[in-house]
Structure 1
Amino acid sequence: MTQRWFVRGDIDGFFGLFIDNLLQLMVIAVLGPLVSGLPSELITGRILPGAAVSILIGNLLYAWQARRLMRESGRTDVTALPYGINTPSLLAFLFLIMGPIYQETGNSTLAWQAGLLACLLSGIMETAGAFVGDWMRRHTPRAALLSALAGVAITFIAMGFTFQIFASPAIALLPMLIILISYASHVRLPLGIPAGLVAVLVGTGLAWVLRAFGFIYFEPSVEPYRLVLYPPIPAVGEILAVLRGPMGWRFLSVIVPMGLFNVIGSLQNLESAEAAGDRYPTRSSLLINGIGSLTAALFGSAFPTTIYIGHPGWKAMGARAGYSILNGAIIAALCLLGGVTLILRFIPIESTLGILLWIGIIMTAQAFQEVPKRHTLAVAFGLVPSLAAWALTLIETSVQKAGKTLFEAAPAFGRDLHIHGIIALSQGFLLSSMILSAALVAVIEREFLKAVVWTVIAAGLSMIGLIHAFELVPSGVQNKFGIAAAPEFALMYGLSSLFLLMLHLSNSWRRR
């Protein structure tokens, strides 16, 4: 059976993955100077070239992995794992590590170096996860893994992009509808033109035509651009410099949870890929992920990489291995040539968002479709922590735009909005989503001893502050790590485990 390197669906898949990666690079270019004082020369000359190396290597390795699965299985419909910069880690490292160091010292170079150390340690954790990930995957219910992913998909992906689309309907709504109609109906467009390409061309055409008639729905980037090659430069010296001081190490309380979340997120995405029909080995998949983050740090990027959410979405588009190769090559070229923002002079980002919306909704649907019917209750329960985390971002943004801090506004909410409950549920939401869902699956199956294990884990994580623990300080919500970080939650989870143990013993006695 012939295995083609590229198929028509790879073009659609490329557009989705390319835009997803491009969005992360735009965040670095825009927020880096604002939050961490990173000069544009540092971003263009060191950080983005480092990101180029990591993205290129990871995409090529995942494409090779997909080709190998094709040969071993005799199938031609295998889709490579989507891959790129980890968005939660990107934001956490900018706002919780690099930003505070820059505000404290005024030294953007030191902030960047601390980010490199954080990325390196995250890569080490991801690599270590390759050797324990299979065990975690075997002992975690599919509903627990998929519900956490679905929560992120329906909130941070689908809802956020939906708002942006409906804020610019003149150039975004029609491209979105083209995507949804084409992908949901599985209809083949005339001449076999990919729906993703049609959507982008239609949105871009609308933007420029309306602009010609005086309707400014699209504002092209005015940032100057020079066609210059920025080669990746090793950053070992910068990492060694920050290793000698305490500045980078003091943020382990941020680095360790984010590294753990990255491993768990990768496991969830592997489970999602298996549910869609592509079973990849855990060890090699996580090793590639770890290699990507390590490479990023060693060549100057402070932002770890990860397996992306949305494999079923790209598979439904017809993407195989070629889309990964295209994405790695073109993203790397943009980074190495300093052209990350050049494309935004011509293509409005709004015309591309329908692809990402499709990925968000298909991931949410999959979580309910790919589990036993009786476990859908656990999937629904697992969505709640993600909803809380998303709600918190909306509340914080609204309060800040009103000229206040959450610390000042929190007392005024009272019983109209239980803000402390929202914050507690949002802390470590990926972990708590998985744990709550897994515990409910065990309860549904009347495997009360397994439920005991999950609630004991919840109690332990609450005690050390990986879930539910926080402090509300004048600067905002602050993570709280240490012994007895969230004692009320730990105690209640502990008592629930005793109740479950009692049920287990009672059922065992009845069976005798």
Structure 2
Amino acid sequence: MSANPAIGGRPKFWVAGDWNALFGFGTNILVNVLVLTGLLRFVLKMPEQLVFGRILPALGLMLCLSTGYYAFLAWNLARRTGRTDVCALPSGISVPHMFVVTFVVMLPIKLATNDPMQAWEAGLTWVFIQSFVLMAGGFIGPYIRKITPRAALLGSLAGISITFISMSPAAQVFSTPVIGLVCFAVILANWFGGARYFGGVPGGLVAIAVGTLIAWGSTAIGLDYGDLTLAKLGASVSNFGFSVPLPAWHHTFDGFKYLGVILVTAIPFGIYDLIEALDNVESAAAAGDSFPTTRVLTADGVISLIGCLMGNPFINAVYIGHPGWKAMGGRIGYSAMTGIIVLVLTWFGIIAVISALIPVVAILPILLYIGMLIGSQAFQESPHRHAPAIVLALLPQLAAWGKTQIDNALGAASTTAAAVGSAKLAQVGVLYDGLATLGGGATLAGIILGAITVYIIDRAFEKAAAFAMAGTILTFFGFIHGAEGIGINRSPTVAISYFGVAAILFYLARYAEFHPAALDLHEVAAEAD
């Protein structure tokens, strides 16, 4: 750990490593902005004036506020501790929610009404409700984090990193290997291997430049990499202009007429955001930077609320990946500068030009790198004996990802799992019902299963029983292991099963005898000290 001579000195806003983190994190944000722009334009068929004139400027404002605030938290931590290695929490659009609000909330309303404005208003209301869930959760989050083992929190997070963060970029990298693998090698050599390029030019920038050159060079000789054409690039310039976000609170409240549809997903996904933010704060603490949990969670809610009241239907979230940006040298400035750059790109309509110029596959290897780093952190930052708990905590995310792949494949064939039948799927080894049950509320389910296992390993059977009872309650009300959303008695069989686990563990806590070789008690005592 590096430290300033005097505690309370003025930390540096920018260091050399911030360049690497800026291009890495900045391109991560850019990919997400490009994806959501495509969802708005080509899935929801929203008019370009609404997308580039209202939604993206409000999104840019939200991201600038978010990255600026977390840069301030890092600056304040560095000033108080005198450390020079503090790295700001990354933040941006919540990627899972980006698809949920598009396909589960806005698209059905767009198809039912044929009115993109009403779909937009429903999205704003969805974020409005989630914002208050996050703000309320900010006050209970520290207690959840205090009683939950690190292996459970990081294990569930690793499940997200392996599935929803890494698998799609990895598949796209290998679908277009001439660009993807080359760019991936450039990034790995720089960020893992320490290789320097051209006098210290950031590896992320080199990878994007190399990928773009390969893509346009291939296009010039008649190959198709990323559907890049000069005609589309020229047409993208028409979106240049200056647009500032305008108040949209009347649109937000107009969306309350769809409250019944919205509540089904807004509350459980608000809780998902709360748990994921706790995971990411714990991940940052494991990397050496402890931020105040309440201030982080409530800030997510407040910033998302401001964004939706200005016209942005996508929620803000603390991102997975803090250890990755810190490992490549990021400190404070990378976060704030990312927000400023995104503000410029969205307020001046430059996003359309970038999407027509840079192939997405040149950017995706950066997400794959982050997924690798976070997946490995769960094992590196937890006691070795907790490794089985981490593996168990991964499984709900793997199940959720697998179910998503099955649903998408069947949807492409214009059918569903219900139409095909679970029995027929089971005959070919596709255990759809089991995946749906295991993957329901995957983030929270992973934490519960991981915590139970950690406390069993540590012989803290009463604590394990308490988490099993929490699993009973969460399952009964549909927060985990349920496919129908929150409610009452959603998965009674699973709830009863958790109750049985709790009863057994409580009995063992009172009456069981244990083999002394089953656990290295000296290791436990040393870690407690």
Change (3 A) 1:297 1:370: same
Could you tell me which runs of 5 or more consecutive residues in structure 2 were left unpaired when the two chains were aligned.
5-9, 516-529
Letter in 1 for 2:477: I
Q: Which residue of 2 aligns with 1:432?
A: 445
Any conservation in 2 of the 1:175–1:202 contact (CA below 8 Å)? yes
Letter in 2 for 1:458: G
Letter in 2 for 1:433: G
Deviations 1:156-199 (A, max 9, x none): 11221111111111112111011112211234445122211211
Aligned-partner Cα distance in 2 for 1:87–1:409: 30
Any conservation in 2 of the 1:389–1:425 contact (CA below 8 Å)? yes
Q: Which residue of 1 aligns with 2:105?
A: 97
1:414 to 426, 439, 446: 426
1:361 to 358, 372, 375: 372
Any conservation in 2 of the 1:144–1:379 contact (CA below 8 Å)? yes
Shift of 1:303: 1.0
Q: Which residue of 2 aligns with 1:119?
A: 127
Q: Which residue of 2 aligns with 1:145?
A: 153
Aligned-pair Cα RMSD in Å: 2.0
Any conservation in 2 of the 1:143–1:367 contact (CA below 8 Å)? yes
Letter in 2 for 1:451: A
**SS of structure 2 residue aligned to 1:248:** helix
Any conservation in 2 of the 1:180–1:354 contact (CA below 8 Å)? no
Q: Which residue of 2 aligns with 1:473?
A: none
Q: Which residue of 2 aligns with 1:280?
A: 291
Structure 1 window deviating more from structure 2 (363-372 vs 89-98): it is 89-98
Aligned-partner Cα distance in 2 for 1:319–1:480: 39
Q: Which residue of 2 aligns with 1:51?
A: 59
Letter in 2 for 1:238: H
Number of equivalent positions: 501
Any conservation in 2 of the 1:66–1:79 contact (CA below 8 Å)? yes
**SS of structure 2 residue aligned to 1:294:** helix
Q: Which residue of 2 aligns with 1:382?
A: 393
| TM-score calculated relative to the size of structure 2 | 0.91
Q: Which residue of 1 aligns with 2:304?
A: 293
Aligned-partner Cα distance in 1 for 2:336–2:421: 48
Q: Which residue of 2 aligns with 1:214?
A: 222
Q: Which residue of 2 aligns with 1:492?
A: 497
What is the correspondence of 1:317-328 to structure 2 with a 5 Å cutoff? 317-328=328-339
Aligned-partner Cα distance in 1 for 2:36–2:200: 36
**SS of structure 2 residue aligned to 1:417:** coil
Any conservation in 1 of the 2:453–2:464 contact (CA below 8 Å)? yes
**SS of structure 2 residue aligned to 1:131:** coil
Q: Which residue of 1 aligns with 2:524?
A: none
What is the correspondence of 1:184-203 to structure 2 with a 5 Å cutoff? 184-203=192-211
What is the correspondence of 1:73-84 to structure 2 with a 5 Å cutoff? 73-84=81-92
Matched, 1:441 2:446: no
Deviations 1:308-346 (A, max 9, x none): 001111111111111112210111111112222211222
Aligned-partner Cα distance in 2 for 1:337–1:13: 24
1:482 to 458, 483, 487: 487
Aligned-partner Cα distance in 2 for 1:191–1:338: 32
Aligned-partner Cα distance in 1 for 2:56–2:173: 28
Change (3 A) 1:378 1:79: same
Any conservation in 2 of the 1:171–1:351 contact (CA below 8 Å)? yes
**SS of structure 1 residue aligned to 2:92:** strand
Letter in 2 for 1:499: I
Matched, 1:26 2:39: no
Any conservation in 2 of the 1:93–1:115 contact (CA below 8 Å)? yes
Q: Which residue of 2 aligns with 1:474?
A: none
Any conservation in 2 of the 1:29–1:40 contact (CA below 8 Å)? no
What is the correspondence of 1:301-340 to structure 2 with a 5 Å cutoff? 301-340=312-351
Matched, 1:108 2:116: yes
Q: Which residue of 1 aligns with 2:362?
A: 351
Matched, 1:261 2:269: no
Letter in 2 for 1:363: I
Q: Which residue of 2 aligns with 1:502?
A: 507
**SS of structure 1 residue aligned to 2:339:** helix
1:71 to 79, 82, 101: 79
Aligned-partner Cα distance in 2 for 1:334–1:352: 17
**SS of structure 2 residue aligned to 1:306:** strand
Shift of 1:485: 0.8
1:130 to 123, 138, 149: 138
Change (3 A) 1:36 1:457: farther
Shift of 1:95: 1.7
Change (3 A) 1:205 1:155: same
Deviations 1:51-107 (A, max 9, x none): 111100111111111111111111111111101011122211112222222233333
Change (3 A) 1:60 1:509: closer
Aligned-partner Cα distance in 1 for 2:45–2:201: 44
Aligned-partner Cα distance in 1 for 2:196–2:430: 48
Letter in 2 for 1:413: L
Aligned-partner Cα distance in 1 for 2:125–2:110: 15
Letter in 2 for 1:40: E
Aligned-partner Cα distance in 2 for 1:480–1:263: 17
Aligned-partner Cα distance in 1 for 2:126–2:426: 38
Deviations 1:444-499 (A, max 9, x none): 111111111111111111111111122xxxxxxxx243211111101111111111
Deviations 1:208-253 (A, max 9, x none): 222223332232262533321111011111123334x3x2244212
Any conservation in 2 of the 1:36–1:108 contact (CA below 8 Å)? yes
Shift of 1:133: 1.2
Any conservation in 2 of the 1:119–1:297 contact (CA below 8 Å)? yes
Could you tell me which runs of 5 or more consecutive residues in structure 1 were left unpaired when the two chains were aligned.
471-478
Aligned-partner Cα distance in 2 for 1:226–1:157: 30
**SS of structure 2 residue aligned to 1:241:** helix
Any conservation in 1 of the 2:23–2:202 contact (CA below 8 Å)? no
Any conservation in 1 of the 2:105–2:261 contact (CA below 8 Å)? no
Change (3 A) 1:98 1:215: closer
What is the correspondence of 1:163-242 to structure 2 with a 5 Å cutoff? 163-220=171-228, 222=232, 224=236, 225-242=238-255
